[in-house]
Structure 1
Amino acid sequence: MASRGRRGGASAREDEPRREERAEQQAPAPQGPVLPPPPPVDYGVFMQGLVQAMQTQAHTQAALQTQLEAQMVLMNGVL
């Protein structure tokens, strides 16, 4: 008889996740146009572009820092 109690308790616990899965499956479909899947990504090319963008940003930041320092020198000389 004890085994029946365990089975009943286990099946009740197993039903709960199934109910959640059913609720997820019954969610309404999103409204709007259906888009095609995105094209495959070449991560090598993506990483090269990312590195190039980061290098460009570093060079730009260094140039702006140099320009700012030059302006500060000129301003201090005027005052």
Structure 2
Amino acid sequence: MQYTYAMASRGRRGGASAREDEPRRDDQAEQQAPAPRGPVLPPPPPVDYRVFMQGLVEAMQTQVHTQAALQAQLEAQV
């Protein structure tokens, strides 16, 4: 008899008494994929990284200006 992974894994789990020719429950669960729910969506449009980076830089600049304005307000209150 060959020593298989299934035998080794059973040994580590305390000697489960499942027979070799009977599929285990977790094997059956892996084989049954759930049916997709809802409509199948088309793939998203390709990303224009130049536009994305421009928006990111603008957002970072806005954040810096806002943070500087808040810091100035805080210093004016003190």
TM-score range, shorter chain: 0.5 to 0.7
The one-letter amino acid of 1:58's match is V
Higher alpha-carbon deviation: 29-38 or 54-63:
29-38
Query: The residue matched to 1:59 in structure 2 has which SS?
Result: helix
2:43 is matched with: 37
User: Structure 1: any 5+ residue segments left out of the alignment?
Assistant: 14-19, 73-79
Larger proportion of helix? 1
Structure 2 length as normaliser, TM-score? 0.57
Identity %: 76
Q: How many residues align?
A: 59
Listed as ranges, the gaps of 5+ residues in structure 2 are: 6-26
Whole-angstrom distance in 1 between the partners of 2:51 and 2:35: 35
- Larger-Rg structure: 1
Q: Which has the higher relative contact order, 1 or 2, with Cα contacts under 8 A spaced 6 or more apart?
A: 2
- After the TM superposition, which parts of structure 1 deviate over 4 Å for at least 4 consecutive aligned residues? none
